[in-house]
Amino acid sequence: MSHKHPPKGWLRWIHPETYNFHPSTPGLKALKTVVVTLVGFSVVAVGILMIVTPGPAILVIPAGLAILALEFAWARRWLRKIKAYTRALALRARRGRKPKETSSPRNSRP
């Protein structure tokens, strides 16, 4: 068997065997939390901006909440509420529609 060596150059800084990092290292967890928070709030902010400017705010804001839900329980609760609300709207819209009337050749003749 050949012994695997860590990569040379800039990759050695991110290679896990170089520093014996474990995915649950507190520093990496904190970094993940910071990155998720910044990206999530940025996406939500862009979505809120799209409310007053042209854009799909209805899609972008829940996407930002989904990113924030990776780390925060309050975002998961808000996302569940939004899902329940949109399901209720869709159900109400389906119930409110009348079935299309189809015209058959028999009914078209006098």
pTM tops 0.75, yes or no:
no
Q: What confidence category does residue 67 fall into, taking pLDDT thresholds of 50, 70 and 90?
A: very high
Please report the pLDDT score of residue 28 as a whole number: 81
- Say what the pLDDT of residue 60 is: 94
Q: 77, 85 in Cβ contact below 8 A?
A: no
Q: What is the model's pLDDT at position 6?
A: 55
Given a cut of 80, whether residue 98 has pLDDT beyond it is no
Sequence-ordered list of residues with C-beta below 8 angstroms from that of 58, at least 6 positions apart, any chain:
none
Stretch 73-86: mean pLDDT = 92
Residue 56, pLDDT above cutoff 70: yes
Query: What whole-number distance in Å separates Cα of residue 110 and Cα of residue 104?
Result: 12
In which residue are the tokens 């990569």 written?
7
Q: How far apart are CA 73 and CA 65, in angstroms?
A: 11
Q: Crossing angle of helices 73-96/57-68, nearest 10°?
A: 140
Confidence band for 75, pLDDT divided at 50, 70 and 90: very high
